[in-house]
């Protein structure tokens, strides 16, 4: 059973991902049902038990569906499911706690500050301000001057109880997918992301068709040694944060070719624009094979 939708702000993307996963699983020969779930309506889980199903594939994006609450419910019911445990999901959804853990293990991540209430900004622009528990670049803002930073701080504090302020890294944006397999976790080919305007925001990720995704190492414009380092760092981040089955690790590569880990996504998107399926296909694992591998991992096969 594929679970999608949910109450979070990425609901539309989740529903799109769910449809794609269902189609790919059916192509792989699986008997599949797609269900929408909400915190107040988990009837799908009772339906799954009566079916009976073998495994649940959550394809939700956002704090409730990806960040631990749904995973805790699945664990309490002892239902096998694709993706991270509730503990790892909660940790990775919180970008600030993720950065603390990465730093504790010596992995590079941009310096940051968590601000609440009237906490003053201590970083000088350029800087990034974003909610610590949202995805898809929702409410993320890059501020290049002090006035913009202060105005953004005031505006976002009206909508969020805390904000993550991070040093802005000028450079190239890269993402690396991680998937499990018979011989252990595997880092997929890095993808360089080049949005046509501004930065890689929600529209560039899901609605625009002019964002460029480069996988060819000869065209990516990043030294081979740096690409190797990025894949190694992605594997390390996946491991130290306790991820399982899959994740996607986002990076900025600065002008000195130093990689910086921005965040780790435990349920990457599966839409036609999404990056984990693109990288897997480039590595010879098309979507039906990818999702088949993930459900078999969750079943212990």
Active-site annotation, residues: 10, 136, 206, 248, 250, 263, 265, 269
Cα 218–chain centre separation: 26
Burial class for 139, CB neighbours closer than 10 Å (0-12, 13-18, 19+): middle
Buried b (16+ CB within 10 A) or exposed e, 223-252: eeebbebbbebbbbbbebbebbbbbbbbbb
Residue 4: CB atoms within 10 Å = 26
- Cα 148 to Cα 125: distance, rounded to the nearest angstrom: 9
Q: Is 284 helix (H, G, I), strand (E, B) or coil?
A: coil
- Cα 299 to Cα 301: distance, rounded to the nearest angstrom: 6
């Amino acid at each position: 059973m594929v679970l999608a939708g949910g109450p979070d702000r990425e609901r539309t993307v989740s529903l799109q991902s769910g449809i794609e996963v269902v189609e790919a699983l059916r192509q792989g020969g699986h008997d599949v049902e797609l269900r929408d779930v909400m915190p107040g309506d988990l009837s799908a889980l009772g339906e799954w038990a009566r079916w009976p199903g073998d495994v649940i594939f959550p394809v939700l994006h956002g704090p409730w569906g990806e960040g631990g609450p749904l995973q805790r419910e699945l664990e309490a019911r002892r239902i096998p499911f694709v993706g991270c445990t509730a503990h790892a999901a909660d940790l990775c959804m919180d970008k600030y706690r993720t950065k603390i853990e990465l730093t504790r293990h010596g992995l590079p991540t941009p310096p940051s500050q968590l601000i609440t209430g009237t906490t003053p900004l201590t970083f000088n622009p350029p800087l990034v301000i974003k909610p610590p528990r949202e995805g898809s670049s929702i409410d993320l803002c890059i501020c290049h001057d002090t006035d913009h930073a202060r105005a953004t701080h005031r505006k976002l504090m009206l909508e969020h109880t805390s904000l993550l302020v991070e040093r802005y890294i000028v450079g190239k944006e890269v993402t690396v997918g991680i998937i499990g397999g018979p011989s252990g976790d595997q880092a997929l080919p890095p993808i360089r992301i080049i949005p046509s305007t501004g930065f890689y925001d929600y529209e560039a990720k899901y609605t625009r068709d002019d964002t460029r995704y480069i996988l060819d190492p000869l065209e990516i414009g990043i030294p081979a040694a740096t690409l190797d380092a990025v894949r190694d760092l992605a594997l390390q981040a996946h491991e130290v944060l306790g991820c399982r089955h899959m994740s996607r690790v986002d990076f900025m590569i600065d002008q000195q070719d130093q990689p910086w880990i921005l965040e780790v996504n435990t349920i990457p998107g599966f839409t036609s624009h999404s990056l984990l399926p693109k990288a897997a296909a480039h590595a010879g694992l098309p979507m039906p094979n990818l999702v088949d591998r993930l459900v078999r991992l969750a079943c212990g096969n």
